[in-house]
Structure 1
């Protein structure tokens, strides 16, 4: 039996709990969540869990085998450091790994010295249609030369205290939301970013909201172009006031041999059933010769769709992380991977604010 400690049990923490409980041979041993409402909801999902008020109390529980950090973004680095000082256990930490450039050296020191596995939660890699896209992209394109990622989705959901409404606590939209896509760019191209140029801003969402006289400043739309060291180019188009879209994510990779696309619907719970059945994820392959198109449905287990908003990816990620905890697997998303995705996002935020390209 593997015992989990949950640090942060808000909306995303609860999705993790639901998926952990699907694994078998595991239990939630303790939950640390300061918000009473979210804590109560988490305990409904894991009534066996003890409630702790601080990380030292969590780590004093000797039966713990591993940790999940799903707290607000700006807390990740200090919490990692506290765990490293007191009792470094295998852990899965939610993205983004960090939110400000000043934290890069702190994380580098942690990566060098932390004696247990750390997995950064880049769930999008494990969505079944995106996983198949990544698996087949090289062969179908003959080597990716152009990559376009589009996300047309709903606005940021309500989080405790509105922390995701502000750049200071979220890291900014191109970090908080888009580090997923910059990670996918790195994985798909097999290369590292060298230059970033972006344009973005807050044009529709949250303009009339107030939090103790603070006005939300997180962006809701952007374009980002990334050049890679192997000559590939990638572009992200983000719109967070387009929840009417049939597919939330649309990935396209092009190369000398052809094109491959992945079409990913948004969370099933947001689909308007009056408009018909929810869309099924798809892969579309379009070779240049002979000119043709192959469409492949990639359905996701309905039980996994009910357990979260990420097309089953949270479950598949936890399956692999559990193998690492049991000593039978390897970390697939390292601290270095998480840090590089954030670095691209921070460069994109800076580019959009200042104008012009940012070299990495």
Structure 2
């Protein structure tokens, strides 16, 4: 159909350009505008909430018609952004999350509130029966994460988690390549590393405290544990971690509570079947760099993503595949069009929203399910516990101590 560009050629970057104002809608083809087909409500207008608002408009097949946030400056920021995007529809300012979810005009609710509030916000909205996108991590405690998992899998509508790093150009390309077992043979080891600046400012600085965020390895690193699960396809069994708060926010306190977020950590993960994984986090650098190394019995895949906010802030990705002594050597530079890369998280947020539309259309997608979100949270929480207690954590023991039957959370995608 005309509005479905999945297989057709479009020049989306020209759609919003004033350069083509003299061309009537009737004469537009490559730069035709799409009328939004879905209405979203946004709960939480902080950094990620505003990114969702902006990317919804950029993707074009939906629009945010209303927002809720108890913090008035955040609502004002959402209003300014909405107005700047040229929408011809006023933005509804709801007086509660329930009012947003129960608006008959709303087709999907996006929850982008502080981590510790996710389940508190989601639980009363379930009665609306509306599709939901919940930002990562799904919760900050195992109790809340399990409660959300059970509710999500009983929910009659779409329920997805915002784990969009799986759509970054580097990782999307790596996942595609690794789907072919001939690329590196049977997977044996996996390593991911992230080097980046400290956590950004947030309203109330909730992301500087374990109590508000769930801890660094939950708040930030659930993205990478999700990626590791997608690459290995195997359940994690044992987690051992070491980390510290070496530099960042050691002089920051709120209401008598000292900031306690880790700024560096190393995590070792044993997976079923003998696979070994490792993850390194370092938040003491001025630029952004991520590394991926996947080794099989017939070769190795190596990838790197780099962006320098003090330079041109462009994402530069490389991916190399080496296959044995006489095998192929592959070097590629995965990327998205610049207008997509600049939209948020290296273009991953745009691709999340595009898949969200496909899911609402009833098409199959690889959006993160609640179960995938639960396991990404679980490994992060296990790593936090390992550091706190100075000992490895057995995933089975962690679930048992929480009174969770392992059969109820069996590793896998489960129904979206």
Corresponding residue for residue 22 of structure 1: 58
Corresponding residue for residue 29 of structure 2: none
- TM-score when normalising by structure 2: 0.81
- Is 1:295 the counterpart of 2:334? The answer is no
- Is 1:221 the counterpart of 2:264? The answer is yes
CA–CA separation in structure 1 for the residues paired with 2:54 and 2:182: 36
Q: 2:274 aligns with which of 227, 231, 253?
A: 231
Deviation at 1:134, TM superposition (A): 1.1
Q: Which deviates further from its counterpart, 31-40 or 121-130?
A: 31-40
Corresponding residue for residue 95 of structure 1: 136
Corresponding residue for residue 41 of structure 1: 77
Deviation at 1:105, TM superposition (A): 3.7
- Is 1:358 the counterpart of 2:405? The answer is no
- Is 1:158 the counterpart of 2:201? The answer is yes
Q: 2:97 aligns with which of 42, 55, 65?
A: 55
Instruction: State the secondary structure of the residue aligned to 2:110.
Output: strand
Instruction: State the secondary structure of the residue aligned to 1:22.
Output: helix
Instruction: State the secondary structure of the residue aligned to 2:129.
Output: coil
| 1:118-155 CA-partner distances (Å, limit 9, x unpaired) | 11111110001110111112432212210000000010
- Identify if the C-alpha distance between structure 1 residues 131 and 279 changes in structure 2 by more than 3 Å, giving closer, same or farther: closer
Corresponding residue for residue 112 of structure 2: 70
Instruction: State the secondary structure of the residue aligned to 1:311.
Output: helix
Instruction: State the secondary structure of the residue aligned to 1:224.
Output: strand
CA–CA separation in structure 2 for the residues paired with 1:160 and 1:278: 27
- TM-score when normalising by structure 1: 0.93
User: More relative contact order in 1 or in 2 (CA 8 Å, sep 6+)?
Assistant: 1
- Is 1:272 the counterpart of 2:311? The answer is yes
Corresponding residue for residue 168 of structure 2: 127
* Bigger radius of gyration among the two: 2
- Is 1:148 the counterpart of 2:191? The answer is yes
- Identify if the C-alpha distance between structure 1 residues 60 and 278 changes in structure 2 by more than 3 Å, giving closer, same or farther: closer
Query: Structure 2 regions of 5+ residues with no counterpart?
Result: 1-36, 84-89, 396-416
Query: Structure 1 regions of 5+ residues with no counterpart?
Result: none
- Identify if the C-alpha distance between structure 1 residues 16 and 108 changes in structure 2 by more than 3 Å, giving closer, same or farther: closer
Corresponding residue for residue 201 of structure 1: 244
| 1:191-233 CA-partner distances (Å, limit 9, x unpaired) | 1100000001211100112323332111111000001112111
- Is 1:329 the counterpart of 2:329? The answer is no
- C-alpha RMSD of the superposition: 1.6
Q: Which deviates further from its counterpart, 344-353 or 24-33?
A: 24-33
Deviation at 1:302, TM superposition (A): 1.3
Corresponding residue for residue 286 of structure 2: 243
